[in-house]
């Protein structure tokens, strides 16, 4: 297929490599002109994936119009908060039989929309032409062909299978699903819990505490996700528990890193200023706080993370507040 990957960060680059290695004609778009020049000069993403060579047959461009025109598959790999602006720039392109794939794991500020809804809203395409790809998949490992399993989801099984077929190979196994709501929410909401897991690391609590945060965190993700229309079993799969485990545990996780630094006593603006990549969980935390309030869903861990990040609450006190909440059965919130 003729494929465009919009976003030259670590994940967009890693997926472009997969698609090119699978025999597709791939165009990688990067919005930063100088960064794009460096990609084209070295055929290596020296900032995010140093040492990983890009296939020479891959085209790299700074022109969004050139990248998106006449493509069978368009992969949206920009951070969630920038997706709408990117789509506004290509909405005049006539799309015919184009499938759009979101690989961004977040929820848009204010609108509280996930990326598949932003795509449909901005481009006016049908839900059957939109899918998502999500799961436990750090770009640093995928780009080096370390075995990875993810899930492709769409309201249309045919579309999910199309995405599955496009990406699957010997080191990147893709499962299909029609629960696009659950797959997308699992990928977005776990980032908030991962910030909390990082806070546990930074505050030196221990493995017991982290296990509790992860387990109770997936319960919160499930409650909110089911309320929003997801299937319960999705959250025990790759895009739910699988992605939560890797994001809470890995040294590659940007969201866990932010939390760890918070737990060590640093302030959020200072941490973000020193980062070259986006930690989606920061903005998503605001959205989860709003969504949970709107739908009257109890999310104590997500709310605790929100209060630490944005209300200056002390991580130690917040943790003990969580521990001393009213007694409940395990299946309660």
**Catalytic residue numbers?**
190
Helix (H), strand (E) counts: the chain: 15, 8
Closest CA to 312 of 254, 269, 281: 269
> Rounded to an integer, what distance in angstroms lies between the CA atom of residue 19 and that of residue 13?
10
Q: How far is CA 174 from CA 22, 211, 311, in A?
A: 13, 27, 40
> Rounded to an integer, what distance in angstroms lies between the CA atom of residue 333 and that of residue 320?
17
Query: What count of residues does the chain have?
Result: 333
Give me the residue label for tokens 């918070």: 262
How many other C-beta atoms lie within 10 A of the C-beta of residue 163?
23
- The DSSP bridge partners found for residue 2 are 25
> Rounded to an integer, what distance in angstroms lies between the CA atom of residue 162 and that of residue 170?
17
């Amino acid at each position: 297929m003729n494929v465009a990957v919009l976003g030259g960060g670590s994940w967009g680059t890693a997926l472009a490599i997969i698609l090119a290695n699978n025999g597709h004609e791939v165009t990688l778009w990067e919005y930063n002109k100088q960064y794009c020049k460096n990609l084209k000069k070295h055929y290596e993403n020296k900032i995010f994936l140093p040492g990983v060579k890009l296939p020479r047959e891959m085209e790299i461009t700074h022109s969004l119009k050139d990248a998106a025109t006449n493509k069978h598959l368009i992969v949206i790999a920009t951070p969630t908060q920038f997706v709408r602006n990117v789509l506004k720039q290509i909405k005049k392109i006539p799309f015919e039989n184009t499938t759009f794939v979101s690989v961004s794991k977040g929820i848009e500020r204010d609108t509280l929309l996930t990326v598949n809804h932003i795509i449909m809203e901005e481009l006016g395409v049908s839900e059957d032409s939109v899918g998502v790809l999500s799961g436990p998949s750090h770009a640093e490992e995928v780009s080096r062909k370390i075995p990875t399993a993810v899930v492709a989801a769409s309201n249309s099984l045919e579309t999910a299978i199309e995405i599955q077929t496009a990406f699957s190979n010997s080191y990147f196994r893709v499962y299909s699903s029609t629960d696009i709501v659950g797959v997308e929410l699992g990928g977005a909401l776990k980032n908030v819990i991962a910030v909390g897991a990082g806070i546990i690391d930074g505050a030196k609590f221990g493995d017991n505490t982290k296990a509790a945060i992860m387990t109770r965190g997936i319960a919160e993700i499930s409650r909110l996700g089911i309320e929003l229309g997801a299937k319960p079993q999705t959250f025990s799969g790759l895009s739910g528990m699988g992605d939560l485990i890797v994001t809470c545990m890995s040294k590659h996780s940007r969201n866990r890193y932010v939390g760890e630094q918070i737990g060590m006593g640093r302030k959020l603006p200072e941490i973000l200023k020193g980062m070259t990549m986006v930690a989606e969980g920061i903005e998503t935390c605001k959205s989860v706080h709003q969504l949970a309030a709107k739908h009257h869903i109890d999310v104590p861990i997500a709310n605790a993370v929100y209060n630490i990040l944005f209300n200056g609450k002390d991580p130690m006190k917040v943790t003990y507040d969580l521990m001393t909440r009213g007694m409940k059965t395990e299946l309660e919130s």
